[in-house]
Every structure is written in C-alpha cells, then in structure tokens.
C-alpha cells in the first residue's frame, strides 16, 4: 500500500485541469465516496499492525495533498475567470451590428433634397391642429366629406381640434405669418380614420410643396413636377396631368408617371395602363390666399402634395403599406446599403 500511496503523491504534483469540468472529474476520482483515497482508507483495516502508524500518516498526507491541490486549481480558475470578466458588462456586445435607416426616412429626405435644389425650404407644424388651419382656411365647405368622422380624427373634448389630415395646415400657418415670395416644402405625419389594409393606413406621411409669388403659372408647376419625377424615378420618366378637384386649388390636377417597373408596357402595379398616379397638384385657389392675408389680385401660386409611403412603395416595389409600421428587422435590413 505504501508504494501505491507514494505513487499517488507523485501523481498529485502533476495534476492539471483546463476546465471546471476536468477539475470536478479529478475531485470525483480521488476524493468522492468511491474515489481512490477513500477506498485506500477502507483498506487500511487490512494493513499489518506494525505498518499501521507509517501507512496511516502517509494516507492522511495523501488526502491533505489531494484536497490542497484541488483547492489550488479551483482558486486558479476563479482568478482567471475574474480577469476574463473584468470588463464593462453594460457595454454593447461585440460585434456591434449597424442599424439601418427606415425606407420612409430615406425617401422623405430624397424628396426634400430634390425640392431644396429648386429653392424650397422646409417648414413644419403641429400634428394636433384646429379646424381653421386644416379645413376652413383651405376652402373646405362646412359639409365637405373630409370633415366627416369617417375621414378625420376629432378630439372628443373639443370638436374644433383634430389630428391633421394633411400637411397643408403648415402651408396656411406659413402664409399667415409670411408675405410672398414663399417657397416651402412641408413633410410630416398625418392621420385619417381609415381601415388598415395593404394599401391604406390610419397614419402615414406626406410631403406638400407651396410656391407663391407674382406671375406664377401652371407651366411653372409642370416644370417643377417634371424635374422632380426625373430626379426621383429616372431620366426616362414621363409625366401626365389629369384634371381633378381639390378645394384649395383651381385648376387642380392629378399627376401620373410612366411605370418604371414595366417601362410603360403594362403590369399589375400600373394595372396594365403603363401609368401610376403619385400626387395631386394645382394652382392655389384665390380664396385660400385671401384667407391667409395674401392679396390674391397681386400674388398667385401652386401647391402639390404626395404620400411618402406611395412613393416608397413604387421606388422599392413594396406591395404592402403595413410593412412600414411592423418594425420587422428582416424587412428593414434590406435598406442597409441606403445610408
């Protein structure tokens, strides 16, 4: 037995462990209930009486040596673990994944940049508005359908306060405080009481433009629209103006562009017509100018407005408006290159 004890003492000196699992395996091997050292102690009863003193001392030495070695290895692991975790645990994990810009933000900035090159400046206003700036000042009749509860979100405690249905309210606020020449573009979020579907939402984004000065003509409007369309959708883009009606412009028109997806040949996006409607426009109605304190006999202007979601859906061939509001990372990551 003495020879085995001496062999185990030498073995203790060489013990190493590279992981907590290996260290636990060593403990089980030598010190567990059925480990090598407890088994030797059970066999101690069979040692000859004249050897019991020497063997007993060596067995105790072996047990103590094993316990010290395992404790030493354990302390080494704990020290190494502490060093490895000596970092700021509140710091963002690496590698840091770059975020992506929302497609609505990308297109809004692109639209604004195009109009800035035409001399327009950005104007903004409140989303919670009063009836005057949203409707009355813009020549909406008292019985106009847009005032109906099915189109507008009214504040229950005050029926004269609404969530703006268009950013035209920003135009009226600017015209009330500023004399021509006025050349502004008004981006922002608007609200309408509509059922949410693949093509409609109760909140969306608009960009509207207003130019008021002396001797402004419909030809100026058409040229601005043509420039915008070619810059946004490509140099080969053509435009088409169709007569329409808006309370705040006269004459009014809706503008179509050649479908850039099929090149005007016809597809499901353009309903096989080769044309896609993208905005409404027209010459500012004289009543609107007068309502805002601008002399309609001296000044005239044009206005136009478009939904940013609609432009974005056309530009990136997105077929469901709800994707813009779902915050699905798989969808948003597709715009990583558009920084």
Mean pLDDT, consecutive 10-residue stretches, the chain (339 aa), reads 77 78 82 81 78 80 82 75 63 72 92 95 94 91 74 81 92 94 95 84 93 96 95 90 93 90 72 87 95 95 94 86 88 70
CB neighbours (10 Å) of residue 189? 14
Torsion angle, alpha carbons of 289, 291, 295, 296, to 10? 40
Predicted confidence at residue 150, as pLDDT, reads 61
- pTM for this entry: 0.68
Is the alpha carbon torsion for 194, 148, 190, 318 positive or negative? positive
With a CB cutoff of 8 Å and minimum separation 6, the contacts of 308 are 104, 107, 108, 111, 187, 204, 205, 206, 207
Predicted confidence at residue 289, as pLDDT, reads 95
Rg from Cα positions in the chain: 39
């Amino acid at each position: 037995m003495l020879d085995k004890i001496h062999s185990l003492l030498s073995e203790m000196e060489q013990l190493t462990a590279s992981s907590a699992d290996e260290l636990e395996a060593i403990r089980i091997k030598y010190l567990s209930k059925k480990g090598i050292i407890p088994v030797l102690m059970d066999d101690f009863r069979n040692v000859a009486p004249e050897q019991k003193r020497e063997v007993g001392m060596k067995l105790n030495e072996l047990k103590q040596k094993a316990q010290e070695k395992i404790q030493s290895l354990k302390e080494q692991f704990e020290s190494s673990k502490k060093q490895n975790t000596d970092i700021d645990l509140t710091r963002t994990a690496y590698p840091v994944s770059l975020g992506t810009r929302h497609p609505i933000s990308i297109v809004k900035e692109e639209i604004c940049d195009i109009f800035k090159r035409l001399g327009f400046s950005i104007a903004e206003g409140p989303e919670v508005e009063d009836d005057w700036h949203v409707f009355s000042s813009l020549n909406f009749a008292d019985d106009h359908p847009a005032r109906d509860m099915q189109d507008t979100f009214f504040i229950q405690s005050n029926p004269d306060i609404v969530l703006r249905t268009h950013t035209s309210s920003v135009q009226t606020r600017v015209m009330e405080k500023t004399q021509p020449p006025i050349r502004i573009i008004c981006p922002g979020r608007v609200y309408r009481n509509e059922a949410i579907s693949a093509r409609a939402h109760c909140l969306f984004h608009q960009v509207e433009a207003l130019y008021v000065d002396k001797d402004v003509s419909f030809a100026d409007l058409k040229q601005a629209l043509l420039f915008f369309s070619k810059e946004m959708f490509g140099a080969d883009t053509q435009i088409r103006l169709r007569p329409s009606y808006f309370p705040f412009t006269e004459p009014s028109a809706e503008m179509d562009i050649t479908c850039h997806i099929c090149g005007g040949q016809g597809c499901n996006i353009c309903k096989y017509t080769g044309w896609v409607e993208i905005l409404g426009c027209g010459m500012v109605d004289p009543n609107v100018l007068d309502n805002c304190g601008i002399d309609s006999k001296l000044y005239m202007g044009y206005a136009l407005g478009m939904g940013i979601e609609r432009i974005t859906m056309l530009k990136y061939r997105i077929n469901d408006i709800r994707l813009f509001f779902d915050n699905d990372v798989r969808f948003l990551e597709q715009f990583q290159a558009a920084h």
